[in-house]
Chain A
Amino acid sequence: MNNKRKKSFSDRSISIIAYCFIGFFGVICLYPLILTLSASLSSEKDIVRFGYSLIPKDFTLDTYHYMFLNSGKQILKSYGITIFITVVGTVGAMIITSMMAFAISIRTLKYRNIIAFISNFTIVFSAGLIPWYVVCVNYYNLKNNILALILPSIFSVWNMFLMRTYFSSISPSLYEAAKIDGANYFTIYWKIAIPLSKTAVLTVGLMYALQYWNDWWNALIFINDKDLFPLQYYLYTILSNVNAISSGRIPAGASAGITLPMETVKMAVTVITIGPIIFLYPLVQKHFVQGIMTGAVKE
């Protein structure tokens, strides 16, 4: 009797710890985002006086108004660039990645191991940033070129292998039947393999879309032209100026020329940058988790 109660006590405390830990971590993950959203909806005066708070003291859309009046053009332009590179990049990357993944998932392809090795080697060893940069700028002319935001990240070996895992799980007998009916491998890929791997296509597609949406590194390296700034890089330029000035190391004369954006504006730009993700998140999350889970298990 005593033993039994003790056991259930230990079990119950595990449950309580689980709820507390998970709840705590969940809140930690969400809290800063709510803070950001709330700051963008507060008035500058309140932020300066009370600091950031979880709920806006005085709900106002002034910041968004101000921002679109002042730098609306730049924001819209950057939005356009980001949407363009996300759409074109994701579609291109999906075509390139899925075709190759399908090809090397076919067991009768004799040199598929060589192709896999060529791909793996790029993960294991790279020339480094500088040779890559020199080649891109001097030979491919990517400086201040919108292609610089698309091409360098259009193929990920990791994603290719993830897709191959899915394609490998399709029974080859399905392909054989189609082949007897006279279909070539491209038709099989397009008509059979892709429709049977919807989760994989969705998961890898999302990974690419997210990568393009969140990319600012390619812009940092290649783009000086303000007209080609993607959204993330625009936010980066705003923040890094603020950041440098907060260090107190920049002489007053130099910082006098730079007008610091207001606290609320920084947060509003952040919210605009996350915006579409917040709306899409509830829709895609479930499939995405599923895709990662199945991919992880099969590996």
Chain B
Amino acid sequence: MKSNNDMILPKKKKNVILRELKENRMLYLMCVPGLLVMLLFCYIPFSGIWMAFTDFNVVDGIFGSPFVGLDNFKYFFAKNSMGWKVTYNTLYINFFGIILGLIVPISIAIFLNEIKSKIFKKLTQSMMFFPYFLSWVVVGAIIYGLFSTDVGVVNHILSYFGVKPISWYSQPQYWKAIIIFANVWKWSGYNSIIYMAAMSNFDHSLFEAAKVDGANKFQRIINLTIPMLKPTAVILTLMSIGRIFYGDFGMIYGIIGNNPVLIDEVTVIDTYVYQSMRTLGFSYSTAIGLFQSIMGLILVTIANKVSKKINDGEGLF
């Protein structure tokens, strides 16, 4: 009797699946190209993760190369190796990126809201949004124009004040800051739009009521606007924290290029993977990439849980 039931159930289930696939055939077909792209470029590469645990060579292929266990990871985190340094750089650049990425776009959104002149508002908004449209290579060219030793604007300004010109491109200590500010410069206009979208949904009667009660602009910003922007800010911040182990390859390489003096100071996990692919082999760099993916997965899961707790069950994904 019981076995009979077991026999029928899977069959029934299969029928249900087939019927659903047949009924909504067209909709599933429309998903096929997208699913295919993900299969080719996201899921099939998963098989290559095995390289992280082997000493890969081309002749033996991915699965034929000798197994070495966790040796690649041990090498990455050995004393005086680059492992700690690139992880530190990644977290450092992203941490300040997140902080400034909160303060600047929110300030822009709040202040733009206070501006009455429509022309001024439109003009400045277009100006601030423009950097979003530029590639990191172009940003790199612009930064070169600012910081080049002989002809750069910054050195000219410094010499105006009697300061000796600085050879920026051979002094690594400045570049973390330059990169963090370049990132803020590029993204603030775009991110402020998201906060302005949130502000346009605010309940205006609350602001009117506060006005009637005699609250001035400053008090309204502190006690109404900022608390009401908090949910948006929390979501965006949690998303960035989920990706804190990921560096922006384009940003680092677009600005630094392959300048051998500067690269060690600002190299992040992503750029280090690329560099070591050429010098230290595929297995080692796969292991670093895997370390990054696993850390990313852990952090995203945590961020998602936190978001669910804060936003009544509404997760990030």
Choose from B133, B151, B185, B250 the contact partner of A210 (Cβ within 8 Å).
Answer: B133
Report the separation of the CA atoms of residues A130 and B48 in the bound assembly, to the nearest whole angstrom.
8
Min CB–CB distance A97 → chain B (angstroms): 7
Contact between A22 and B115, CB atoms less than 8 A apart: yes
Contact between A267 and B145, CB atoms less than 8 A apart: yes
Known contacts A155-B34, A289-B193; is A235 also within 8 Å of B286 by CB? no
Contact between B274 and A242, CB atoms less than 8 A apart: no
Known contacts A26-B128, A248-B170; is A17 also within 8 Å of B141 by CB? no
Known contacts A52-B152, A185-B30, A235-B137; is A30 also within 8 Å of B130 by CB? yes
- B127 on interface, CB distance cutoff 8 Å: yes
- A256 on interface, CB distance cutoff 8 Å: no
Choose from A23, A130, A248 the contact partner of B124 (Cβ within 8 Å).
Answer: A23
Residues facing B in A180-216 (CB within 8 A) are 184-186, 189, 210, 213-216
Residues facing A in B48-81 (CB within 8 A) are 48-49, 51, 62
Choose from A14, A110, A136 the contact partner of B20 (Cβ within 8 Å).
Answer: A110
Most buried by A among B131, B136, B197: B197
Contact between A297 and B198, CB atoms less than 8 A apart: yes
Main secondary structure of the interface of A (DSSP, over half): helix
Contact string, B256-291, partner A, CB cutoff 8 A, digits 1/0? 111111100000001001100100001001101110
Question: Which residues of A are in contact with B by a Cβ distance under 8 Å?
Answer: 7, 10-11, 14-15, 17-19, 21-23, 25-30, 32-33, 35-36, 39, 47-48, 51-52, 95-97, 99-100, 102-104, 106, 108-111, 115, 118-120, 122-136, 139-140, 151-152, 154-155, 157, 160, 184-186, 189, 210, 213-217, 220, 232-233, 235-236, 239-244, 246-250, 263, 266-267, 269-270, 273-274, 277, 281-282, 285, 289, 292-294, 296-297
* Contact sample, A vs B, 5 pairs, CB 8 Å cutoff: A23-B120, A122-B42, A128-B288, A247-B170, A282-B126
Question: Which residues of B are in contact with A by a Cβ distance under 8 Å?
Answer: 20, 24, 26-28, 30-31, 33-35, 37-38, 40-49, 51, 62, 104, 107-108, 110-112, 114-116, 120-121, 123-131, 133-138, 140-142, 144-146, 148-153, 155-156, 167, 169-170, 185, 188-190, 193-194, 196-198, 200-201, 214, 216-218, 221, 249-250, 253-254, 256-262, 270, 273-274, 277, 282, 285-286, 288-290, 292-293, 296-297, 300-301, 317
